[in-house]
Amino acid sequence: MMELSYQSMKVAHQAREADELRTEMRRKSLLILIYHHLLGQGYVSAAVALDQETNGGVRRFEVCDNIDLEMVLMEYESYHYVKFQKYPKLIRRTAEPGENRNARSGSVKRSSCSAAKPLPKINPSQSPKSGNGAKRTTASSHTNENGSALPPELSEFGLNVSSIRNGPAGEAANNRKGQMTDGKVSINDAVKGAGSDSDHMERLLKPLSGFSGMSGEMRELAAIISRDIYLHSPNVRWEDIIGLEDAKRLVKEAVVYPIKYPQLFTGILSPWKGLLLYGPPGTGKTLLAKAVATECKTTFFNISASSIVSKWRGDSEKLVRVLFELARYHAPSTIFLDELESVMSQRGTSMGGEHEGSRRMKTELLVQMDGLAKSEDLVFVLAASNLPWELDHAMLRRLEKRIIVSLPSSPARQAMISHWLPPLSSTGGVELRTELDYETLAKGMEGYSGSDIRLVCKEAAMRPVRKIFDALESHQDGDTDVPAIQLETVTTADFLEVITHTKPSARNLMDKYTAWEREYESV
C-alpha cells in the first residue's frame, strides 16, 4: 500500500516537472519567435534590445519547421473559426484616459479598401443609384457595432444632434454586419467583423531601419517626413461630406476603386497616378482627401506644399526625393500635396525671379511624378489647389485627372445649415433650439463656401449663448446653485442678420474656375 502511494507520488512529481519544463520551453520559444519576427519586420533595435535583456538568450536559437508568429496566429484563427464560425478579435485599442470607447467604435463604420476584394456577381441594371445631391445619410454614425444607440453625439460646435438625426434608415444600416446567408455568416463578413476594431487603430509603420541605402542626412529627412504620415484615421466618411456628389464619385473611381478592385484596373484602365482637386477655398478638398485616407488604408502622407518650401528651402529638393522613396517603401501610399500652387507655380513667374532651390525642387517633383507614371509602384499623388491657373503646365500634364470642387449648390447649402443648426441640439447640456427657414437661408447664401456657411452657423449659434454670459458670470461670484439656463431660439431673422456681416470669400473667383475647368478638365 505504502509502496503504491510512493510510486504514484513519484509519477505525479515527474509529470509536474515535465509540465514545468514544457511551460519554460514555451516561454522561451515565444521570445525566440518574437525575436525573429522583429528581425524579419526590420525592427532591428527592438530585436537587439530583446536579446540583451535576455542575456543573449534568443540570438543563439533558430526556429524549427518554418514556424513563425504569424503562422501561429493564423492557426489560432482557423481553430477559432472552426469552433465558433467567426474569426477571433485578436487585439483591441486600449481606452485613453477620459475616452469613451463606445463612441469611438461607433463613430467609424466603413468598408476598408486596403485589400483587394473578390468581385461579387452584379447585374449592371441593379447597380445602386447614387444618392440625392445634398441628402446625407448619417444613420450609420449613430449606432454602435451591435446596432444599439450610442450615447448622444456632439455636433461640430459641441451640439448634441443624435436624437434628431436617428431615423429608420439607421436600422437598415445596423443590419449590415454579420449578415446571415443560408444560416451561415460569410467569411468576408467574419473577417470584416474581426477587423472592425483595428480599423481605427494607430497605424504601425515599417521601421525606418529597413529603409536601405540612406545616409544619416537622408534618414533625418525621412524622419521629418514620417511625421506627416497619418497614423490615426482622420475619420471622415463620404457621407460626412455634404453635396459634391460628382467630385466624390470621381475621386472614388480614380483612387478608391483601383485599390479595392485592382483586377478591374489594368491595361487601358490602369489607375491614374496623379489627381488634382481644384476650386475655391473651403469647399471640401481637404475633406475629400481625408475621406480617401479613411476609406483606403494606404499610408497617407499629408504634405502641405508651402511648409516644404518655407521650412526646407535649401533641402526641399532632397525632401521631395525622400518623400517619394518613403512612399514607395510604405506602399501602397497616397501623397496628398495641399496648396500645390505654392510649390508648383509656373516656373520663372514668381516675384523677384525664381529661387534656384525652388526651381530644383520643382524639377525633382516632376522627375518623381514621371518615375511613378512609368513604374508599377502603388504610389498615388493627390494634389489640391485653390489657384489652378497658377500651376506649372508641366505639373498639370502629370496630374492627368482634374476634378473641380465647386461652391455648394442650393440643396447642399440647405443640407449644411440644417446639419450645423438642426431644430434641436444641445451645447454643454443646454438645449439650443432653432426655427429656421432652411430653404430661404440657403437661397440667401449663394456664393458661400462650405467653410463660410459653417462660420455663419457658428456665429448664429453664438448669439443666444453670448446673451447668457452675464448671468453665468454673476452666478460664479455667488451661490453654488447652477442657474436654470434657457437659450433664446435662433430665428431666420437672426441668421439673416449674421449673413449681412459675413461676405462669401470666393464668389468673384467662380467665373475664373469655370473658365479654367472648360480649358483643362481632363474628362
Binding residues for ATP: 279-286
Which residue's CB is nearer to ligand ADP, number 150 or number 242? 242
> For 97, which DSSP code?
T
**Which residues are paired to 380 by β-bridges?**
334
Radius of gyration of the chain (CA): 29
Closest by alpha carbon to 213, among 222, 205, 201? 222
> In the bound complex, what is the minimum distance in angstroms from residue 43's beta carbon to ligand ADP?
36
Which residue's CB is nearer to ligand ADP, number 319 or number 384? 384
Please identify which residue in the block is written with the cell numbers 455636433: 155
Which residue's CB is nearer to ligand ADP, number 68 or number 240? 240
Please identify which residue in the block is written with the cell numbers 516537472: 17
> In the bound complex, what is the minimum distance in angstroms from residue 312's beta carbon to ligand ADP?
22
CA–CA distance, 121 with 516 (Å, rounded to integer): 40
**By Cβ distance, which residue is nearest to ligand ADP?**
450
Which residue's CB is nearer to ligand ADP, number 255 or number 287? 287
> In the bound complex, what is the minimum distance in angstroms from residue 456's beta carbon to ligand ADP?
12
Are the beta carbons of 225 and 322 closer than 8 angstroms?
Answer: yes
Please identify which residue in the block is written with the cell numbers 465558433: 84
**Interface with ligand ADP (CB under 6 A):** 241-244, 281-287, 384, 450-451, 454
> In the bound complex, what is the minimum distance in angstroms from residue 412's beta carbon to ligand ADP?
7
Annotated binding site: 279-286
> In the bound complex, what is the minimum distance in angstroms from residue 247's beta carbon to ligand ADP?
9
DSSP output for 334-378: EEEEESTHHHHBPTT-STTS--HHHHHHHHHHHHHHHHHHHS---
> In the bound complex, what is the minimum distance in angstroms from residue 508's beta carbon to ligand ADP?
17
| Edge-to-edge strand list for the sheet holding 299-304 | 299-304, 333-338, 379-385, 274-278, 401-404
> In the bound complex, what is the minimum distance in angstroms from residue 114's beta carbon to ligand ADP?
23
Which residue's CB is nearer to ligand ADP, number 274 or number 280? 280
C-alpha cell at 458: 457658428
> In the bound complex, what is the minimum distance in angstroms from residue 519's beta carbon to ligand ADP?
21
Residue type at 457? Answer: C
Helix (H, G, I), strand (E, B) or coil at 12: helix
Which residue's CB is nearer to ligand ADP, number 110 or number 454? 454
CB-based contacts of 414, cutoff 8 Å, min separation 6: 134, 438, 439, 441, 442
CA angle 161, 233, 284 (to 5 degrees): 65
Closest by alpha carbon to 241, among 265, 276, 277, 198? 277
* The dihedral formed by the CA atoms of 343, 349, 355 and 359, expressed in degrees to the nearest 10: 60
CA–CA distance, 141 with 237 (Å, rounded to integer): 9
Which residue's CB is nearer to ligand ADP, number 238 or number 272? 238
Which residue's CB is nearer to ligand ADP, number 234 or number 423? 234
